[in-house]
Amino acid sequence: MENRVVKRVLSRRHLLAGMGLAGTAGALAACGATPTPQVVEKVITQVVAGTPQIVKETVEVEKVATQVVEKEVVVTATPAPKGAVKLVFFVWMAPEQQPQVQAIFDAFTKENPNITIELQQAPGDEAQKFQKVLLMIAAGTPPDFTMGSSEAPGYAGRGILVELDPYIEASKVDLSVFNQAILKSYLQYQGKQIVLPVVASAELLTYNPELFDKAGLSYPSEKWGDSKWDWATFLDAAKKLTVEANGKVDVFGVTSILYYMYAVRWWGARWANDDVTKITADTAEMAQGIQDIADLTVKYHVSPRAQEWEMFGDADPLLSGKAGMQDMGLWSLATYAAATSPWACAAWPVVKDPLAFFYPMGFYMFKGSKNQDEAWKFMEFMCRPENNLKWAQAVSRMPAMPQNGAEWLKYFEAKQPNARMHVITDLLNYEKATTAEPFMVHPKYTEILTKAITPALDPVWSGEKTAKEVLPDLQKQIEDLLKAE
């Protein structure tokens, strides 16, 4: 650690004494000057826990008939080195991903022997993770850092995240190596970089080619924005893929699609304007989008009702042959890549606005951590292209560094050469690809989702009410929560 300069301000009396000339003052006293004690401050700048602080001491010296001068004496002080540090990395991670992630941690520790990293498993639900982190911070035991995405602005709005710009500048990290759409998304807050990009996640459509062949259907399009693969064609395929046996559905046409908070954008709906000053939940576009999604279950029954999910047990519906189409998040790609069942990727059907969504993800750290410098060391370590690629492979997300895209795709295609996985990397280059709208990264979003949106829409998903019936009250609830302190 860098040496610090310690300053001492000394009186001329002390300097003379130190030079063996104190007798001069004695001669002056003998000529009639009466020594009188005088209080002189000795100012010392010392390092306390790495921070310069001013400490004053008072000493008595004899008043002398001479000028008091100051002299700066330079002394070096080296704080004691920090001992072994264990970083807590708090994140939800699939069990099959953890061995490769641990190998990356081990490689980092090999370069930094005094720093180890412990992965603490977070709840899989984002709202639960958010609340758990707040409780850990309140208890004085915050995690050191984590990997996340759209929840970060909510933390930043509470003032509990470390701004990374000073670290980035000091380490001379080249941010141009990252996909700029990822970098400048909700990984920034009020113009400050709060999350260091590492990967991008996404949800896309997967399908079972054997079931499509059996139903005599053409495969879903592998091209983003293909107008021939529209909602009507998608719904028709879902109907023809749905198979009943003994009065019950044995195979569903589609079990799940893109998260509805994003999917309604296909119908041209928005939850709020860009600066979240106006809520726009109660619109004809929103009602149509919510209702069309709900009707997959409540009207056409090509998707399972809540109680019917039990028929799948712990098995994946698509991989077990019980679904013709299904949403797949990249967090499940490692499982799919290792599967022996047939599956392949497809683009989402086009409705009104053919958007494709991706979710930037990266590392951020908490202000309450006592190991911020060490956490940054790991984040800086992950800025190396080779480590970025390894992490993207380990957690089965697209690398945030475009230069790693081809190698990442090659890695997964080798496991499933017929799965059309180029659809995944094509998403990031698609002109209509976008991140979450501002409403979904508003600091109050988690509260609004759990207290207003989810309970309001539950009756729509079950068929008890229509979207048109619930949206006016939902609009008011969201507005009231935004206004509340």
Distances (CA, A) of 28 to 25, 33, 281: 5, 6, 91
Q: Determine the straight-line distance between the first and last CA of the chain, rounded to whole angstroms.
A: 45
Distances (CA, A) of 136 to 96, 177, 371, 372: 26, 34, 16, 16
pLDDT at 165 over 80: yes
pLDDT at 79 over 90: no
Cβ within 8 Å of residue 224, ≥6 positions away: 347, 348, 354, 356, 423, 426, 427, 430, 432, 433
In this predicted structure, what is the pLDDT of residue 117? 97
In DSSP terms, 39 is beta-bridged to 60
Tell me how far apart the alpha carbons of residues 480 and 389 are, in angstroms, rounded to a whole number.
44
pLDDT, mean of residues 170-185: 92
pLDDT at 468 over 50: yes
pLDDT at 192 over 80: yes
**Confidence class of residue 75 from pLDDT cuts 50, 70 and 90?**
very low
**Confidence class of residue 82 from pLDDT cuts 50, 70 and 90?**
low
Task: Say what the alpha-carbon torsion angle 29, 35, 41, 47 is, to the nearest 10 degrees.
Answer: 60
**Confidence class of residue 81 from pLDDT cuts 50, 70 and 90?**
low
pLDDT at 355 over 90: yes
CB atoms within 10 A of CB 330: 23
C-alpha angle with apex 274: 166 to 188, nearest 5 degrees?
Answer: 15
DSSP state of 395: T
Cβ within 8 Å of residue 272, ≥6 positions away: 278, 279, 280, 281, 437, 438, 439, 442
Task: Say what the alpha-carbon torsion angle 403, 430, 253, 291 is, to the nearest 10 degrees.
Answer: 130
Give the H or E element holding residue 346.
strand 344-346
pLDDT in tens, 331-345: 899 899 999 999 999
pLDDT in tens, 308-322: 999 999 999 999 999
pLDDT in tens, 118-130: 999 988 777 788 7
Please state which of the ranges 148-157, 294-303, 419-428, 459-468 shows the lowest mean pLDDT.
148-157
pLDDT, mean of residues 90-119: 94
pLDDT at 23 over 90: no
Question: Percent of the chain scored above 70 by pLDDT?
Answer: 83
Rounded to two decimals, the pTM is 0.78
**Confidence class of residue 155 from pLDDT cuts 50, 70 and 90?**
confident
Q: What share of the chain is helix, strand, coil (3-state, %, to 5)?
A: 40, 20, 35
> What is the full DSSP assignment across 160-225?
-B---HHHHHHHT--GGGS-HHHHTSTTEETTEE-SEEEEEEEEEEEE-HHHHHHHT-PPPPSSTT
Distances (CA, A) of 89 to 74, 141, 142, 194: 42, 12, 10, 16
pLDDT in tens, 417-453: 999 999 999 998 899 999 878 888 888 888 899 999 9
pLDDT, mean of residues 237-245: 97
In this predicted structure, what is the pLDDT of residue 56? 41
Considering all CA atoms of the chain, what is the largest pairwise distance in Å, rounded to the nearest integer? 123
CA nearest to 444, candidates 127, 161, 193, 139: 127
**One CATH from 1.20.120.420, 3.40.50.300, 3.30.800.10, 3.40.190.10 for 202-359+418-483:** 3.40.190.10
Instruction: Tell me which amino acid residue 41 is.
Output: E
pLDDT, mean of residues 35-61: 41
pLDDT at 80 over 80: no
Counting Cβ atoms within 10 Å, is residue 225 exposed (0-12), middle (13-18) or buried (19+)? middle
DSSP state of 80: P
CA nearest to 321, candidates 250, 220, 238: 250
What are the domain boundaries of the chain? 4-77, 85-200+362-413, 202-359+418-483
pLDDT, mean of residues 57-86: 51
Tell me how far apart the alpha carbons of residues 182 and 381 are, in angstroms, rounded to a whole number.
19
In this predicted structure, what is the pLDDT of residue 435? 87
> What is the full DSSP assignment across 457-475?
HHHHHHTSS-HHHHHHHHH
pLDDT in tens, 198-226: 999 999 999 999 999 999 999 999 999 99
In this predicted structure, what is the pLDDT of residue 57? 41
**Confidence class of residue 456 from pLDDT cuts 50, 70 and 90?**
very high
pLDDT at 34 over 80: no
3-class DSSP assignment, residue 397: coil
Please state which of the ranges 62-71, 107-116, 286-295, 398-407 shows the lowest mean pLDDT.
62-71
In DSSP terms, 254 is beta-bridged to 325
**One CATH from 3.40.190.10, 3.90.1170.50, 3.90.1150.10, 3.20.10.10 for 85-200+362-413:** 3.40.190.10
3-class DSSP assignment, residue 32: coil
* Domains 85-200+362-413 and 202-359+418-483 in one fold: yes
Whole-number mean pLDDT of the chain?
Answer: 85
